Structure 1
C-alpha cells in the first residue's frame, strides 16, 4: 500500500494528521505574522531586518537543541497520545501571550521594551511545545500503521505539514497589517488543535520502563552516540540536518530578499514561502510513488543535486530582476506577477522545494523503521538535536554573511554550494543502506 489516501479514512491516522496540520498551521501563522509585521512595520534597515529574522529563527530552534533528548525519552516511555494532548493544551496559554504581544505591537505600546520581548517569549515557548510534539508525530506511525504504510504515512504527514505552512503563510501575509485579527486567529486555532488532539488513539510505551535522564547535555550526548552505531540512521540524521541548515539560511533570506532585492510587500514574501511549501508537499508525495512504499535513499543524492541547480537558477533570476518601472512603493502580488521574471522566480522556488522534499522525506522514515519501535522517538529526538544545532549554525551563518556585507542574492548562491555536502551525505547513506541489505540477505 504505497498510496496515502486510504490512511485519511482511518482513525488510527486521521486525528494525528489533523492535529499535526493544525500545529504547523498555527506555528507558522504566528511566526510569519510576527516576522513580517516587525520587518515591514518596526525596522527600516536591511541589516536590522535580517538580524531580527535570524534571531527569531534561533529563538524558536534553541529548545530543540536543549530539550529534544528529554522529549524523546518521555515519548518512548509514556503514552504518546497523552503527551500530545498536554502539549496542545499548553499551546492555548502560549498563544495567549503571543496574541497579547501582537496586540501591543499593533497599538504601538512599548514595542521595543515589552511587545517584542513578549513575542519572542511566546516564540521560544512554541519552540518548547514543538520540541515535545516533534518526536511523536513520526515515532507514533509504526505503532498505528502497517510496515508498508509507514513511508506513505511519513510522506502524508510531511505533505500535510507544508500544506499547513502554505495556508498559514498565505493568511499571515494578509494579516501582517491586521494584527488584531491575527491575534484572535492564533488563539482560536490553538483551541481547535487541542480538541482534535483528544481523538488521537492511545500509543502506549513499547519497551521496558527506564529512568529518564533530565540532564539535557548528558542525555543528548548519549542519545546521539547511540545513533552512531547504526550507520543508516546516523547518515540519515546528518543528511537531514545539513538539508535544514540550507533551509534555515534560505528561510531567513526570503523576507529581506523580497523587500530589498525585489522591492515587494509582505504578501509577496508570503507567496515565496507558499510556493516553497507547495513544492515540499509535492516532492513528499512524488518520492513515495517513485519508491512504491519502500524506505530507501535511492533518489536522495540526485534530488539534492537538482535542488542545487535550481537554487543557482533562483540566484541568477534575482540578479537579472529588472528595476525599470520601480518606484518607492513596494509591489503587491498583482504588480509583482506583472513582471516577466516573476514566474521564473516562483518556478525556481517551487522546483527547489520539490527536489528538497524528494530528498528529505525518505530519510525521516529511516529514523522510525531502522530502529526498534521502543526507541523510535529517541531516534527522532536525536535527529531533532542535531537538526536544531545545524539550523542554529545556519542562522548564525546567515547573520555573519549579512554582518560582513555579503549581498542577499549572493547568500542564496552560497546555499547552492552547500547542497553538494548533502549530495555527498546522500551517497554515503545509500551505500550504508546497500551494505545493510547485503548483511541481511544471507539470512533471508
Structure 2
C-alpha cells in the first residue's frame, strides 16, 4: 500500500490513472444510462429488452475483436502518450453524438417534440445511441493496450504489480461511480455529464509523460484478419502468456454474461427498479476493486498466478449461491417494481448482495495477477501487442458467451438459470489457471519460457 500511495503522487502514474479512471467512468455512465433508459423507459417486452441489452453489449465489444491488432501495433510503434491524446479527443465527438441521441429519445418519450420533429428526429435517436456505444468500444479498444503497456515503461519493476492493481481498482471505482449515476440521475443529466467528463479526460491526458516506442517503427498491417491471427499466434512463444490470455478470456465471458443479465434479472426475476439493477453493478464493481487491491497484499508485490485457480473456484461457488437465492425471490403483486428501499428490506436481500459481492471479490483476486503477467514477462517492446492479443481473444470469447446467453434465452431458458452458465465458465478458467501455475513453476525451474504445446 505504501508503494501504491507513492505512485499516486507521481506524474509518471497519476495522469494516466486519472485519464483511465475518467474514461471508465464515462463508458459506464453512458452505457448504463442508455441501457436503463431503453429497458425501463422505452420497451415493455422481455424479448425486446434482452435483444437491446445484448446488441448494446455486442456493439461495445466487437471493436476489440476487429481492431485490437491495429491498436496493439500502434501502441508499440508510436508514442503511447500521443495516442492517448488522439483517443481522448475522439471521445469528445463520440459523446456529443451519444448525448444528442439520449436527449432526443428523452424528449420524444415525454412528448416534448412537435409532431414534425418527432417524425424527423426520433428515427435518428436510437441509431445515435448505438453508434456512440460502438464509438466508445473503438475508443476503449485503442486505449486498452496502452493503459497496461505503458506501466512497465514508466514504473520500476517492483512497482508494476501495485500499479496494475491500482489501475484495476481505479477502473472499478470509476465503473461504480458511473453506474450509480446512470441508475439514479435523469437521462438528460447523464447526456450532459458524459460530454463534460470527456472534456476533463482530455485535459488530464495532456499531462501523461512521453512514452516513445521501444523498437524502431515498422509498417502497420491494416489487413485486420491476418493481423489479428498473427497477433494471437505470436503469444504462443511463451506458454504462460497464452494460458494467461485464455484464463482472462473466460473470466470476462463470465463478466459479460452477468452484465447482460443484471438489468433483466432485476426487472423480470426480482421485480425491482433500475436503481436496484444499478446497485447490482455497484456491488460487483466494489468487490472487484477490493479483490484487486487485496491480491497485491497477498502476493507482496510478486507477480504470480498461484492464487488464481482457488480464487475462480470460489467465484463459481458464489455464482451458484447467487442463482439459488434469486430463485427464491417471490414475484411482487401485479408486477410492481420494488424501489431500492423496498428491495433492501426484503429478507433475502442481504444474502443476495453477499453472494454477489463474493463473486466480485474472488474475480478481482483472480484476474489482476494475470494482467500483471502480460506486462512483465514479455519484452517491453511487445507489451502493447500482447495486451491487444489478449483483447482480441477476450472480446471473441465475450461475444460467443453473449450469443449463447441470447440463444438460450430465445429458446426459452429462464433468465435466472442462464446465470449458471457463468459458473461453468469459471470451472474452465480454473483449469486454465492451474495449467498456468504449473507453467510458471516449470519456467522458474528451467530458467526461461516454454512454448505452448
TM-score, with length taken from structure 2: 0.95
Sort the Cα spacing of 1:351 and 1:186 in 2 relative to 1 into closer, same or farther, 3 A: same
The equivalences for 1:106-121 within 5 A come to 106-108=106-108, 109=118, 113-121=123-131
Listed one character per residue, the Cα deviations across residues 38-92 of structure 1 (whole Å, up to 9, x for unaligned) are: 0001111112111110111111111111110000000001110000011001100
Tell whether the 8 Å contact from 1:2 to 1:149 is kept in structure 2 after alignment: no
Q: Would you say 1:139 and 2:146 are equivalent positions?
A: no
Instruction: Give the counterpart of 2:235 among 227, 234, 240.
Output: 227
Instruction: Give the counterpart of 1:402 among 401, 409, 413.
Output: 409
Separation of aligned partners in 2, 1:357 and 1:112: 41
Instruction: Give the counterpart of 1:417 among 403, 424, 437.
Output: 424
Query: Which position in structure 1 is the counterpart of 2:292?
Result: 284
Query: Which position in structure 2 is the counterpart of 1:385?
Result: 392
Sort the Cα spacing of 1:313 and 1:416 in 2 relative to 1 into closer, same or farther, 3 A: same
Query: Which position in structure 2 is the counterpart of 1:374?
Result: 381
| 1:329 CA displacement | 2.4
Sort the Cα spacing of 1:368 and 1:422 in 2 relative to 1 into closer, same or farther, 3 A: same
Tell whether the 8 Å contact from 2:315 to 2:360 is kept in structure 1 after alignment: yes
Instruction: Give the counterpart of 2:164 among 135, 148, 154.
Output: 154
| 1:172 CA displacement | 0.2
Tell whether the 8 Å contact from 1:106 to 1:179 is kept in structure 2 after alignment: yes
Separation of aligned partners in 1, 2:376 and 2:335: 54
Instruction: Give the counterpart of 1:255 among 256, 263, 266.
Output: 263
More divergent stretch after superposition (206-215 vs 385-394): 206-215
Separation of aligned partners in 2, 1:296 and 1:360: 11
| 1:3 CA displacement | 4.2
Cα RMSD of the aligned pairs, angstroms, is: 1.2
| 1:174 CA displacement | 1.0
| 1:327 CA displacement | 4.3
Tell whether the 8 Å contact from 2:183 to 2:275 is kept in structure 1 after alignment: yes
Instruction: Give the counterpart of 2:326 among 318, 330, 333.
Output: 318
The equivalences for 1:23-38 within 5 A come to 23-38=23-38
More divergent stretch after superposition (412-421 vs 346-355): 412-421
Q: Would you say 1:49 and 2:57 are equivalent positions?
A: no
Structure 2, unmatched stretches of 5+, are 109-117, 449-453
Sort the Cα spacing of 1:2 and 1:416 in 2 relative to 1 into closer, same or farther, 3 A: farther
Separation of aligned partners in 2, 1:208 and 1:236: 28
Separation of aligned partners in 2, 1:246 and 1:363: 16
2:8 match: secondary structure? helix
Separation of aligned partners in 2, 1:14 and 1:87: 18
2:433 match: secondary structure? helix
Separation of aligned partners in 2, 1:427 and 1:248: 23
Listed one character per residue, the Cα deviations across residues 360-419 of structure 1 (whole Å, up to 9, x for unaligned) are: 010001111111000100000000000110111111011011110100111112221221
Separation of aligned partners in 1, 2:200 and 2:171: 16
Query: Which position in structure 2 is the counterpart of 1:208?
Result: 216
1:207 match: secondary structure? coil
Tell whether the 8 Å contact from 1:2 to 1:148 is kept in structure 2 after alignment: no
Instruction: Give the counterpart of 1:359 among 366, 372, 376.
Output: 366
Listed one character per residue, the Cα deviations across residues 99-148 of structure 1 (whole Å, up to 9, x for unaligned) are: 00001110124687221111011110111111100000000000010101
Structure 1, unmatched stretches of 5+, are none
Separation of aligned partners in 1, 2:99 and 2:90: 14
Tell whether the 8 Å contact from 1:2 to 1:289 is kept in structure 2 after alignment: no
Query: Which position in structure 1 is the counterpart of 2:316?
Result: 308
Query: Which position in structure 1 is the counterpart of 2:347?
Result: 340
Tell whether the 8 Å contact from 1:303 to 1:355 is kept in structure 2 after alignment: yes
TM-score, with length taken from structure 1: 0.97
Separation of aligned partners in 2, 1:150 and 1:2: 14
